[in-house]
């Protein structure tokens, strides 16, 4: 089985306007999952065909504990509106950048490509895109809001105000933070199943698809193939 660890560690993928996600480390591979399932038999490989068949059986019949033997460690930069969705998955271990310790920069704010409209039938979803002069005007207002907020933040910092209080001037949901995150393959698949779905918020959906396409698939090709047959085929491609 090809080991993609060396080519994946340190790989960084851009997401949104100023965000990114990179793989810092990975423990295990498809064979580690199979060997964990065969722990009573010393975890020995029985050849690629039988090993892959067993892995597909495990996922299909929800024998998920062997998938917990593989772990991914990521470092990601995303706006708070994304992290607000991410931390709801309590199976991730996370450490976040501290605004009390690290000062924010002038461009640390998320500017969306467009303005999504509120869905009529779903109170927590969006549907369609606002077009015309109103959309451009809102974007200009948003940028002006960012500029004013950062100017007040910077003024407070220069006046000697503690960073933990000066950040009150910043537009909270738009601020970019950097996090370190760790998750096992079983819980990562649960995350991907929910956050790659069309009804997931766009700002987290793009991160989920980036993880799936750039890290999960190449690191665990057998697992990704089995996962695609049961889950991804029902989701369709990533939509802008």
Residue ranges per domain, the chain?
Answer: 5-96+175-235, 116-174
Q: pLDDT class for 6, splitting at 50, 70, 90?
A: confident
- Does the pLDDT value for residue 134 go beyond 60? yes
- Judged against a pLDDT cut of 70, whether residue 15 lies above it is answered with yes
Give the active site residues. 195
Query: Which residue, among 134, 135, 128, 96, has the nearest Cα to 112 in the 3D structure?
Result: 135
Lowest mean pLDDT among 41-55, 156-170, 200-214: 41-55
Return the DSSP state at 65: G
Closest CA to 36 of 4, 72, 64: 64
How do residues 68-95 score in pLDDT, each as one tens digit? 999 999 999 999 999 999 998 889 999 9
pLDDT tens readout for residues 176-201: 999 999 999 999 999 999 999 988 99
**Locate tokens 């810092």: which residue?**
24
Within 28-156, strands assigned E span 71-79, 93-96, 116-118, 126-129
Q: Which residue has the higher pLDDT, 210 or 107?
A: 210
Q: How far apart are CA 30 and CA 1, in angstroms?
A: 9
Question: 196, 174, 192: which is closest to 183 by C-alpha?
Answer: 192
Architecture of domain 5-96+175-235: 2-Layer Sandwich (3.30)
What confidence score (pLDDT) does residue 102 get?
Answer: 85
């Amino acid at each position: 089985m090809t080991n993609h660890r060396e080519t994946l560690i340190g790989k960084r993928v851009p997401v949104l306007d100023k965000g990114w996600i990179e793989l810092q480390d990975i423990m295990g591979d498809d064979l580690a999952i199979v060997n964990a399932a065969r722990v009573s038999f010393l975890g020995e490989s029985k050849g690629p065909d039988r090993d892959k068949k067993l892995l597909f059986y495990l996922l299909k019949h929800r024998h998920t504990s062997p998938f917990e033997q593989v772990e991914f460690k990521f470092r990601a930069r995303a706006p708070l509106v994304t992290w607000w969705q991410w931390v709801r998955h309590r199976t991730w271990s996370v450490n976040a950048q501290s605004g009390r310790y690290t000062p924010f920069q002038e461009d640390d704010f998320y500017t969306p490509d467009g303005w999504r409209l509120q869905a009529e039938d779903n109170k927590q979803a969006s549907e369609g895109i606002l077009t015309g002069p109103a959309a451009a005007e809102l974007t200009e207002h948003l940028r002006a809001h960012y500029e004013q907020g950062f100017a007040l933040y910077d003024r407070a910092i220069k006046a000697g105000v503690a960073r933990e209080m000066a950040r009150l001037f910043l537009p909270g949901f738009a601020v970019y933070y950097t996090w370190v995150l760790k998750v096992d393959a079983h819980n990562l698949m649960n995350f991907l199943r929910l956050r790659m779905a069309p009804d997931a918020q766009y700002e987290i959906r793009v991160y989920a698809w980036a993880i799936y396409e750039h890290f999960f698939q190449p690191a665990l090709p057998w697992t990704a193939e089995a996962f695609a047959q049961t889950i991804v085929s029902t989701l369709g491609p990533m939509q802008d």
